[in-house]
Structure 1
């Protein structure tokens, strides 16, 4: 179990973290199940809405939401949010911070944008003993005008601190509002001592099973979902 806690004075003011399955984007929910493909002579094809690995990835872990509306106009970022002053806590009252561009020196994403922001997180996150938390950009959310950078934190030990989320602003032409509750990070629990890697060649029996699997996948819809997925 991942435990998320906030300061009592902020309870009810912050949008709560949520299971990622509850935060599937509207574009995915609205996606049709089948479409006509002119490149295939008008044949009907199923969309990514039928792709279990994609759905499972987008539904894994928890989503951390943006705490308040952010308004972006002419490369200016502003907000209207006035949380209480916490005399017994050390955390900014601003919903975002900034990294100076020099902090990304040598990184390939610096050329794309000099706007390196940091979404501030007001929730402490506690992982079970022996587990770390992987923080990353919400999976398959290329519709967002930013890209959250990926980090791994041992949140069974760092359970009383705040993990914030640096992000690159990728849409230089964006103008408008990024709404409160927008997913800003996806959090995936991972065991700290994961399995080792073994490299080898398939045995004759494994080759036969591989061929059987590939033939099943190509001959029947839904085989992966029915046979290879919990």
Structure 2
């Protein structure tokens, strides 16, 4: 079961804590619904398709499942500009000195390729394993974990964050860092501060025994399925209008509301 973050009437309080003196220097986690990429906002709601006989077809901007995934949960931003030149990553960033600090202050680290031995990931000099540093300890309510992953539908980014599940109701004083693969060896330039490097969705750890019921539609179910397909062919937005559930201030009917 997925717990909705900040949902009206059922708010879930997620606590974020940084080291003394770091606040204001380290970008704060954000609601994903407040961190949509510019290309989603700018893309058209429809585009002409030569492969469909020149008719206008809706883009993913009119696809509620696509948008709802992008808006779900929490995003963690890159803490400073990363400059990529000739296969090297550099930065110019200073954090305040904290007496007794036992954590690193580098915004990024590197994983040894051997740590991925046996995994089907290509890791070599061109596509290497990195680790984005996170400077926020996270505390969720009892029974809640966070599922961390690559920012949803963000194939424009030159890296791919690996997916992991962390019990942040117990692991409340450590920092969850974000391992990733650098997948674009041709990238040159600056990866700007604030770029989402991970997206997290709260998951309730409730005992759940899955029971599969696999079969064919009966006559009534098949009639209902045909009726739905007919409605969908007449109005491609039928899911958005009749089935989509409102969540976290979303559920708006028009792409122009983004």
Scaled to the shorter chain, the TM-score interval is over 0.9
Name the SS of the counterpart of 1:147 in structure 2: strand
1:49-198 matches, cutoff 5 A: 49-111=61-123, 113-193=126-206, 195-198=208-211
How much has 1:172 moved relative to structure 2? Answer: 0.5
Structure 1 position 45 matched with structure 2 position 57? yes
Task: Point out where structure 1 has 5 or more consecutive residues left out of the alignment.
Answer: none
Task: Point out where structure 2 has 5 or more consecutive residues left out of the alignment.
Answer: 1-12, 246-258
Conserved in 1, the CA contact under 8 Å of 2:20 and 2:98?
A: no
Conserved in 2, the CA contact under 8 Å of 1:15 and 1:67?
A: yes
Separation in 2, partners of 1:146, 1:206: 44
Conserved in 2, the CA contact under 8 Å of 1:145 and 1:169?
A: yes
Conserved in 2, the CA contact under 8 Å of 1:65 and 1:182?
A: yes
Which residue does 1:214 correspond to in 2?
A: 229
**How many residues of Structure 1 are paired with residues of Structure 2 in the alignment?**
230
How much has 1:111 moved relative to structure 2? Answer: 4.4
How much has 1:86 moved relative to structure 2? Answer: 1.9
Separation in 1, partners of 2:143, 2:224: 35
How much has 1:48 moved relative to structure 2? Answer: 0.8
Structure 2 residue corresponding to 1:26, chosen from 29, 34, 38: 38
Separation in 2, partners of 1:30, 1:194: 42
Name the SS of the counterpart of 1:110 in structure 2: coil
How much has 1:211 moved relative to structure 2? Answer: 3.0
How much has 1:212 moved relative to structure 2? Answer: 2.8
How much has 1:114 moved relative to structure 2? Answer: 4.6
Cα deviation digits, residues 87-132 of structure 1 (max 9, x gap): 2332101111111111111111134655211000000111121111
Conserved in 2, the CA contact under 8 Å of 1:138 and 1:183?
A: yes
C-alpha RMSD over aligned residues: 1.6
TM-score normalized with structure 1 length: 0.94
Name the SS of the counterpart of 1:161 in structure 2: coil
